[in-house]
Structure 1
Amino acid sequence: MEGKHDFWVQLQERLVEQCFKSPDSDCLVWTGCTTNGNRPYYGRIWVKMPSDDKGRSYLAHRVAVMCHLRVALGRNDLVSHLCGHSLCVNACHLTIEPLSTNIDRRTC
């Protein structure tokens, strides 16, 4: 169990190293690699999970939630930004919710 705890702590440290605290809010803004294509852009980070044979690119806000909960998320677990800032990785600004709830929030 100690090894898994160390993994999440080290991953959280890697995440925070690539962020800055927004002066206008409590957002922790990702400054590393981002998604390509249409806005909004989302942060990306390369991670090798303990259960994986090789690493892969993850959305940084999903990694923030995984570090906070100390558990890997499933592909169907949608992580939404309550703050509305797509590059925010502050776990307090993120929630796991159904797609329908996320869409409703965007159209309010």
Structure 2
Amino acid sequence: MDAFFRDLQFKLKKKSKHQPGENSCVLWTGNVSYSGYGLQSVKWPVEGRKLEKAHRVALMVERGLTRSQFRDVEGEVSHLCHNKLCVNTAHLVIEQHCINQERIHCFLLGRCTEAHSPLCLM
């Protein structure tokens, strides 16, 4: 399984670009969904080939979780940076839907309301 995640990490890095600056976004340069999220085709050992959101794949690789294991994680993946194409795992958290919605409110306001932790990266 280690080789599987190493190969997947290589594919992610190949289709992403680091932005200049400390703690900046790593932007997905591969396929993008109609809703603006990066897409990566993954051939899972058990489930077979599936189209996944790139930021979710980045977290799965970092945590060593397969698709079925990640499905058991409660919550949704939220971008602290509000950038749908960001695959920098330092900018991603798993949190409840209501907190993710608060982050969307912050994005629309153009500032973090500080109603949640960790704070938005703006």
- TM-score of the pair, normalised by structure 1: 0.86
Alpha-carbon RMSD across the aligned residues, in angstroms, is: 1.5
Give me the whole-angstrom Cα distance separating, in 2, the residues matched to 1:70 and 1:13. Answer: 14
1:42 aligns with 2:58: no
Instruction: Using the TM superposition, give the Cα deviation of residue 79 of structure 1 relative to its aligned residue in structure 2, in angstroms.
Output: 0.7
Moved over 6 A (4+): none
- What's the CA shift for 1:77? 4.1
Q: Deviations over 1:43-74 (max 9, x none)?
A: 0000011121x201000000000000000310
Q: 2:9 aligns with which of 1, 12, 15?
A: 12
Distance 1:77 1:14 in 2: 26
Mapping of 1:1-108 within 5 angstroms? 4-24=1-21, 26-36=24-34, 38=35, 41-52=36-47, 54-72=48-66, 73-74=70-71, 77-108=75-106
For 1:57, give the aligned amino acid. Answer: L
Larger Rg computed on CA atoms:
2
Question: What 5-or-longer segments of structure 1 have no aligned partner?
Answer: none
Return the letter of the residue paired with 2:10.
E
Q: May I ask how many residue pairs the two structures share in their alignment?
A: 101
Cα deviation 1:20-54 (Å, max 9, x = unaligned)? 11125521100000001x4xx000000011121x2
The structural deviation recorded for 1:82 is 0.7
Which structure is higher in RCO with an 8 Å CA cutoff and minimum separation 6? 1
* Runs of at least 5 residues in structure 2 that lack an aligned partner in the other structure: 107-122
Q: Secondary structure at the match of 2:94?
A: strand
TM-score (norm 2): 0.77
